[in-house]
């Protein structure tokens, strides 16, 4: 919310103008991104895609994980999907700028601490399970896709890493090493330029105005993502 006060001497047909310069952000659209991570763990290959790579708050993003696994216990391979504005791997919970979208509490989450969200104590298992067992020594290929809402509390104009972390049964913990992890950066674009909630008022001392008196004209407004803003208003005549 911006607030301006203008002192104008009482003469007829005075016109007031305000200029405010506000930074303006540009977002470039690009093709779907993919990244892969390979190691010698029980989830030895993990490739993820994210679309779109510039989701706005409240919109949906599609995250796909293609992976091979030899996990053969419990409920299968477990995953977390999260946003982090400062890191590319899971950090301690809670950590500023880290938001879990898929965790032990379910899917389409907005959790800072998955253990608390799932009603469990600190240090709990935070993963969501694929329910697939992989008997034998051969790494079995699988694919899972999540359609997830981008929380409204993300910072617009910022960059977040979409992180997919994979673990064996009961192995995912906040801040602990995972079996495999991959991340892709996405940009949260600024909203379209707009100005709204404009209101104006004049403060007078009494009910009569004489030439040379000072009047206070007040204009309140809210703006998002705009520059070269001009608010022009015709001030009424005082006679």
Distances (CA, A) of 45 to 88, 174, 222: 17, 21, 49
What's the number of domains the chain is made of? Answer: 2
Query: In 40-193, which ranges are E strands?
Result: 45-51, 60-69, 78-84, 98-103, 106-111, 128-129, 140-149, 159-167, 180-187
Task: Tell me if 239 is assigned to some domain.
Answer: no
How confident is the model at residue 14, as a pLDDT?
31
**pLDDT tens-digit readout, 4-54:** 444 434 333 333 333 222 232 333 333 467 899 999 999 999 999 999 999
**pLDDT tens-digit readout, 123-159:** 899 999 999 999 988 999 999 999 999 999 999 999 9
Please indicate, yes or no, whether residues 224 and 148 belong to a single structural domain of this protein.
no
End-of-domain residue from the set 187, 204, 224: 187
Q: What is the mean pLDDT of residues 201-207?
A: 68
3-state SS class at 213: coil
Task: Tell me if 104 is assigned to some domain.
Answer: yes
Residue 152 belongs to domain with CATH number: 2.60.40.770
Rounded distance between C-alpha atoms, residue 55 and residue 59, angstroms: 6
With a CB cutoff of 8 Å and minimum separation 6, the contacts of 235 are 8, 13, 14, 15, 16, 202, 217
Closest CA to 166 of 48, 60, 43, 50: 43
Full domain range(s) for residue 64: 33-187
Rounded distance between C-alpha atoms, residue 149 and residue 172, angstroms: 23
Please indicate, yes or no, whether residues 109 and 133 belong to a single structural domain of this protein.
yes
Task: Tell me if 170 is assigned to some domain.
Answer: yes
Please indicate, yes or no, whether residues 7 and 49 belong to a single structural domain of this protein.
no
How confident is the model at residue 165, as a pLDDT?
98
How confident is the model at residue 238, as a pLDDT?
56
Q: Is the pLDDT of residue 226 over 50?
A: yes
Please indicate, yes or no, whether residues 110 and 225 belong to a single structural domain of this protein.
no
Please indicate, yes or no, whether residues 123 and 217 belong to a single structural domain of this protein.
no
Rounded distance between C-alpha atoms, residue 53 and residue 16, angstroms: 43
**pLDDT tens-digit readout, 38-94:** 999 999 999 999 999 999 999 999 999 999 999 999 999 999 999 999 999 999 999
- Confidence band (pLDDT; 50, 70, 90) for 235? low
Please indicate, yes or no, whether residues 138 and 63 belong to a single structural domain of this protein.
yes
> Is 228 within 8 Å of 19 (Cβ atoms)?
yes
Q: pTM (2 decimals)? A: 0.73
Please indicate, yes or no, whether residues 107 and 196 belong to a single structural domain of this protein.
no
- φ/ψ (deg, to 5) at 26: -115, 140
Identify the H or E element spanning 116: helix 114-117
Q: Is the pLDDT of residue 2 over 70?
A: no
Rounded distance between C-alpha atoms, residue 177 and residue 107, angstroms: 22
Please indicate, yes or no, whether residues 157 and 207 belong to a single structural domain of this protein.
no
């Amino acid at each position: 919310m911006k607030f301006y006060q203008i002192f104008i001497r009482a003469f007829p047909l005075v016109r007031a103008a305000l200029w405010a310069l506000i930074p303006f952000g540009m977002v470039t659209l690009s093709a779907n991104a993919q990244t892969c991570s390979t190691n010698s763990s029980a989830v030895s290959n993990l490739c993820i895609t994210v679309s779109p790579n510039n989701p706005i708050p409240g919109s949906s993003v599609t995250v796909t994980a293609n992976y091979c696994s030899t996990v053969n216990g419990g409920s299968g391979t477990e995953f977390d999907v999260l946003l982090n504005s400062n890191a590319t791997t899971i950090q301690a919970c809670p950590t500023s700028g880290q938001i879990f979208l898929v965790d032990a509490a379910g899917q389409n989450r907005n959790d800072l601490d998955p253990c608390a969200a799932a009603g469990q104590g600190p240090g709990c298992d935070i993963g969501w399970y694929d329910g697939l067992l992989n008997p034998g020594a051969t790494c079995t290929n699988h694919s899972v896709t999540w359609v997830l809402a981008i929380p409204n509390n993300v910072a617009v104009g910022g960059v977040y890493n979409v992180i997919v972390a994979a673990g064996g049964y009961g192995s995912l913990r906040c801040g602990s090493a995972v079996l495999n992890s991959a991340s892709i950066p996405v940009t949260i674009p600024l909203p379209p330029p707009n100005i709204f909630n404009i209101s104006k008022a004049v403060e007078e001392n009494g009910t009569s105005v004489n030439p040379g008196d000072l009047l206070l004209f007040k204009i309140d407004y809210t703006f998002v993502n705009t520059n070269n803003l001009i608010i022009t208003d015709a001030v009424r005549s005082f006679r």
